[in-house]
Each structure stands twice: as C-alpha cells, then as structure tokens.
Amino acid sequence: MPLKPLSTSILWSKDFTKPTRDVNAAIAVYNKSPTGINLQLVEETLNRPPRIHWAKQFKEVNSLEFAIAQEKEKLSGSSGTPGVLGAAAPKNLAPSRWIERLFLDAPSLDGYVLLGDSKKGAQGATFKFELGNRILLAKTARGKDTNIQTECRREFEFYKLLYRRREHPNLAKVWGWADLKLGDQHAEGFLMDFIKGADGFAAQKLLKDHWDLGIISTAQYWGAIQYIGRCHITVVRYLNDAGWVHNDIKPENYMVSATTGEVIVIDLGGAADIGRQPAAVTSNYLAPEMRLGGRPNPEAVGSVGSDVFSIGATLAHATEAPHAIHEQARPNQGVQVKAVPYLSNTPVGLVRNQFEYGVETDFTRQLNRMMSEHPLERQKVVDEVASNRFLNDSMLNDNEAKEVLSGVVSGRLDMEWRLKWAAAGKTPPTLLITDRSRIERDLDLKTRALKSKVTQDAVNITEGMLGMMRAELSRIAQLIQHANAFGIDTRRHQNIVNQKSREYDLLESEIKKPKSTALKSSSSSSASPKGKKI
Ligand SMILES: Nc1ncnc2c1ncn2[C@@H]1O[C@H](COP(=O)(O)OP(=O)(O)O)[C@@H](O)[C@H]1O
Ligand SMILES: [Mg+2]
C-alpha cells in the first residue's frame, strides 16, 4: 500500500517544514519503487530530526510509523514479495562469503543470521548479523547508485590502508569486504563489529542527565568528557600520521560501548587525504575555513586543524547544550544559552553556562584553543598533546572514565540509583527538572504567582478556569515533591498550596451555586442606578 505523505501548514517556516519535505520526497520514491531500502530511507528521514521536532505532527507521524512497520512486515515475508533489495534484484540463495578479509582471524560467515536493518545513516543501508554472542554490522552500498557505491567502498579502502599500518583501539574493527546474503538476495559491503551502546549524541545527553540527577559526580562527569576528547585526539593524530583527515567528527559519529565504555570513532565515509576535499560533512561542527556563508564550502579542503575544531565543537555541544538539536545549538559557533530555554522554558541566564562565565578555566582555554580562528593554532592540540591541560588534568584515569561511560550508557548506574530510591521508599526526581537551584527558583516563582487573592473575582471565574488553576496547583505540588527529594525546605510552599486548595474549594462551591441565586445576590448587593433602568 502506498504511504501517505505528511501534511504541513503554510504558517510554518520553511526551515521547520524541511524535514517534512524530506520525508515526503522519500515517501514518493518509496511509493514509486517499494523496496526495503527505499522504505529504510523513509524511516531514516523520519528519524533524522530529533523526536521533539514532530510534536506538531505527532499523530500523523505515528500513523506513518505504523504504516512503515506494516510495509516492513510485508517486505520481510518470503514468498512473492520483492525482498530487501527490491523486485529488480535477482534472487540468490548462496550463503554470505568473504571477498576480502583484512584479518586472518575474521569470523567465518557460515551461520550468521540477518537481524534486520540497524540504525542507519544517510549514505547507505546497514544490516546486523548475529551468530552466538557476536553481532556484525554491514555497511552496504545503496542500490545501484554508483556514487554511493564508491563512497561505501572508499570507506572500506580507508580502513584497509589504515589497518595495514596498525589497528587503533578507538576505531571500529572492520573485518573485510563481503558478499552478503540478505534474505533471498545479495549485496556487497564491509563488515565490522557491532558496538552495543549509544552514539555520542545520546551518550552526551545521558552523561548530562546523570550528572544533573547526581547519579554521577562532577569528577566522573568531567572525567568522561575529558576521556571522550582524548580518544578523539588520538584518532585524529593516528589518521594524520597516515596522511588523512576524518572531516566529519561529530557526536553522531562516535559510539560508546555499553560493555567496555570504550569510545569508538566511526564513519570514515567523509575521510580524505589531507588537503583534499571531503565528501560528506556536517556544517554545525565545521571549522570556519570550511564554511562559506554558514554552509559547507564545497571548495574547502580539510586539515588536521579542521578536525580538531570539530572535536572542540563536539565537546562544546556535550557540555553546553547536549539536549539541544543542531538547529538550536550551533556548537561550531561557540555556545548557545538560547538552546536551553527552548527545551525547558527557563529564562535566559538562569542556566549555568561555561562559556558565559567571566572566568578563564582550563576548559575554556582548551576549547578556545581547539576552536581558534587559526587552523595552525588548533593543530598544536594534536602536536603538543602534553599542553592540553584540560584534557589531561583529569581526576579519572582512562579505565575509571570507561567505567563511568559504560555504567551510564548501559543504564547500570541509573538502575542502581533507582533501586536506592525505591529502597528508601521514595520517588526519584525526574529528568525534566534536574537542577537543584532551578527547582528552588521555579518553586518560588510559582508559589509567588499563586498569592494574589482570587475570591473577590469569583463571579468571573468559570469552571474551566478553576480546572486550570487546580492543575497548576498540582504541578506545584509535584514540584514540592521533587524539591523535597533535593532536601529543599518547602514548608512555606506547602502552606501556600494548602491554603490555595481551600480557597479553590470555596470558589468551586460559589461557582456551582445555581446561576439565578448567584445573579440575584450580585444584583441585590450592587444595586446600581443602571440596574433600575427599565
Ligand atoms: N560499528 C557500529 N556499531 C553500532 N552502530 C554503528 C556502527 N557503525 C555505525 N553505527 C550506527 O549507524 C549510524 C550511521 O553510521 P555511519 O557510519 O555514521 O554512516 P553514515 O555515513 O550514513 O552517517 C551511526 O550514527 C551509528 O549510530
Ligand atoms: Mg555518520
């Protein structure tokens, strides 16, 4: 069944509707040629913006997702369906086999089961294969598009050349190039170890949440951030030694393993020789010399310095605005206070923001150096590693940092924390309201707003309004619970809430009085001359 495109409103800005237009374009492609890969493209486009983007269209998006799931089911059925690669691809039941192995101990492909498509990026399709404990991820070229075919192949060639020199603990283990059996069809691609965990974008958010909630300490938070930075620097130096630039360093292009806590830089699809034009880049993490009028400059060439800049922007995003989407936070333009109120309706200035302080710290110095205007200044971060004060001066060593990262990404620390709260018979604070001083402030502001007397306006208050007032009261009551959890003294706020609650009860009985008596009493009490006019 063809998929139904999403609707938009002329009231929405072009920027806002861009993801919708992208999804609709992908839907059009799929409806014309309903293959597994085209379906995956629709899903990818839908998943590209963060969830919150679809808030206005969430019903439609829900039904679209449902329709996609149904289509998937149809495509995965065996008889008479077009198969993962579409009807045009010839049927071939031969097993998967290696075409080229980078390591002699590459796992034998016999018996690997296709788990379905994994999380996917923009360039091609990825597939997960499982055998026992081992999961492999295949990155395949999309369809017959020769450009993309070479891009996938090129990424493999990069790994191949790199691994001829030596492996790197912070790069993915790529085993080789294979002819893969996908259902009853075949495609070529490269196979690497699947990293169970979270990509950097998710990991950074998780880290911040854990810190805000007090699940990890300040030392653990910064230790993890410093480790992420150090790993990236070693990868860039390693690539640089081989004569290459990554060109697309950003939170989505590293993974954090849930089992080991290791930071693995991925996506060499945009990598190029130093001084050559990159193939794929993301403008929000891009160095100024790589941009032209806010967009990637197709003429610009990557350098070690431009990679270092992107590491700086990645760290800036992690520490300053991990919950913000790229459009809200511009990590490559420094830091965005603006990104925060967008998420929590918090007035600008309330949220602590490292770059906003009038003090210099190792952190600000390090980021200023990594994101300096001058590429050569940035390059020092790789050449003179010892002078990276912030990155090196960590309270946690590598193993301790990895321990934090795996605890955060696997959900282990969160679980332990919840169990502790449960054992104490209390509800843990939620992730939405996190910061102690913010809760205190919110509570004060909200209870202050409650104080004005409403009783004399009783006649003007409708039941609907009273409902809203009560809802606000219960929100404040919830806030009080959170505040209690943080050990804030809430007795005064509780008194106000109790008093208001009684006032509202009175109001309610006023409102519920039969209209006539209410009218009578009001007209008799205010026997104005107007009222006597006949
Ligand atoms: N080895 C891996 N293990 C687990 N997930 C991976 C792995 N490689 C990539 N991914 C996931 O797939 C996504 C897309 O992969 P990536 O190599 O970045 O391709 P693209 O060039 O399409 O962005 C990543 O953001 C990540 O979430
Ligand atoms: Mg990517």
Predicted local distance difference test score (pLDDT) of residue 528: 44
Centre of ligand 2 from the C-alpha of residue 232, in Å: 15
Distance 123 CA to ligand 1 centre (A): 10
Query: Quick check: helix, strand or coil at residue 193?
Result: strand
Short-list 480, 394, 413, 412, CA closest to 440: 480
Model confidence at 322: pLDDT above 90: no
The reported pLDDT for the residue numbered 78 is 39
* The predicted structure's pLDDT at residue 521: 47
Backbone angles phi, psi at 177, to 5 degrees: -105, 135
CATH number, domain 97-193: 3.30.200.20
Q: Which atom of ligand 1 is nearest to the CA of 266?
A: 17
pLDDT given at position 354: 54
Most confident segment among 269-273, 278-282, 322-326, 348-352 = 269-273
In the predicted model, what is the mean pLDDT of residues 1-6? 88
- Per-residue pLDDT, 509: 85
CB 139 within 8 A of CB 192: yes
Nearest CA to ligand 1 atom 22: 121
Domain boundaries, the chain: 14-74, 97-193, 197-419, 432-516
Alpha carbon 531 to its chain's center: 63
Ligand 2 centroid to residue 92 C-alpha, Å:
30
Residue 151 alpha carbon, nearest atom of ligand 1: 21
Q: Which residue, judged by its Cα, is nearest atom 8 of ligand 1?
A: 266
Asked if the model's pLDDT at residue 61 lies above 50, the reply is yes
**pLDDT value, residue 455:** 55
Return the number of other C-beta atoms located less than 10 Å from residue 291's C-beta: 17
- Give me the pLDDT at residue 532, please: 41
Ligand at minimal distance from the CA of 271 is: 1
Confidence of residue 364 (pLDDT cuts 50, 70, 90): confident
Closest CA to 85 of 77, 75, 70: 75
Q: Is the pLDDT of residue 215 over 50?
A: yes
Largest CA distance in the chain: 105
Please state the three-class secondary structure of 221-250 as a single string.
HHHHHHHHHHHHHHHHHHHHHCCEECCCCC
Report which of residues 490 and 93 the model is more confident about: 490
Ligand nearest to the CA of 191: 1
Compute, in angstroms, the gap from residue 252 CA to the centroid of ligand 2: 6
**Taking the CB of residue 415, how many other CB atoms lie within 10 A of it?**
12
pLDDT at 525: 44
Most confident residue range from 137-151, 257-271, 296-310, 326-340? 257-271
What residue owns the CA closest to ligand 1's atom 20? 121
Q: Do domains 97-193 and 197-419 have the same CATH topology?
A: no
Least confident of 57-61, 151-155, 356-360: 356-360
Asked which of 17-21, 22-26, 118-122, 182-186 is least confident by mean pLDDT, the reply is 118-122
- State the closest ligand 1 atom to the C-alpha of 172, by its place in the atom list counted from 1: 1
Confidence check: pLDDT of 269 > 50: yes
Residue partners of 168: CB distance under 8 A and separation at least 6: 162, 234, 235, 238
Sign of CA dihedral 248, 231, 106, 257: negative
> Given a cut of 50, is residue 117 above it in pLDDT?
yes
User: Which residues on neighbouring strands pair with residue 193, listed in sequence order?
Assistant: 136
pLDDT band at 366, cuts 50/70/90?
A: very high
Give Cβ neighbours of residue 328 (< 8 Å, ≥ 6 apart).
321, 336, 338, 339, 342, 343
Q: Cα(415) to centroid of ligand 1, in Å?
A: 27
> Which of 47-61, 315-329, 377-391, 518-532 has the largest mean confidence?
377-391
pLDDT for residue 523 is more than 90: no
Residue type, 249: I
Cβ count within 10 A of residue 204: 25
Q: For residues 486-490, give the mean pLDDT.
A: 81
Distance from Cα 54 to the centre of ligand 2, integer Å: 22
pLDDT at 336: 47
The pLDDT assigned to 113 comes to: 87
Question: Which of the given ranges, 135-144, 293-302, 325-334, 384-393, has the highest pLDDT on average?
Answer: 384-393
- How far does residue 404's CA lie from ligand 2's centre (Å)? 24
Q: Which of 118, 173, 265, 409 to mutate to test the pocket of ligand 1 (most atoms within 8 A of CB)?
A: 118
Mean pLDDT of the chain: 82
Mean of pLDDT values over 77-88:
53
Instruction: State the distance from the centre of ligand 1 to the C-alpha of 119, rounded, in angstroms.
Output: 7
Residues 255-273, mean pLDDT to the nearest whole number: 93
- What is the predicted pLDDT for the residue at 420? 94
Reported confidence tier of residue 324, pLDDT bands at 50, 70, 90: low
Give the residue, by CA position, lying nearest to ligand 1 atom 25.
Answer: 252
Res 165 pLDDT > 70 = yes
- Ligand 1, atom 15: closest residue by C-alpha: 121
Assign a CATH topology to domain 197-419. Transferase(Phosphotransferase); domain 1 (1.10.510)
Identify how many contiguous H helices and E strands the chain contains and give both numbers.
Answer: 18, 13
DSSP characters over 398-459? HHHHHHHHHHHHTSHHHHHHHHHHHHTT-PPPPSSS--HHHHHHHHHHHHHHH-S--GGGGG
What does the buried/exposed string (b/e) look like for 29-56 if buried means 16 or more CB atoms within 10 Å of the residue's CB? bbeeebbbbbbbbbbbbbeebbeebbee
Q: What is the mean pLDDT of residues 53-81?
A: 73
List the one residue out of 54, 114, 107, 53 whose CA is nearest residue 84: 114
Q: Nearest residue CA, atom 11 of ligand 1?
A: 119
Q: How confident is the model at residue 506 (pLDDT cuts 50, 70, 90)?
A: confident
- Point out the ligand nearest to the CA of residue 125: 1
CA nearest ligand 1 atom 1, residue: 194
What is the CA(251)–ligand 1 centre distance, in A?
11
Mutation to probe ligand 1, out of 126, 205, 259 (largest number of atoms < 8 A from CB): 126
**Binding-site residues, ligand 1, Cβ < 6 A:** 119-123, 126, 137, 172, 192, 194-195, 199, 252-253, 255, 266-267, 269
Percent of the chain predicted with pLDDT > 90? 38
- List the end-to-end C-alpha distance of the chain, in Å, as a whole number: 70
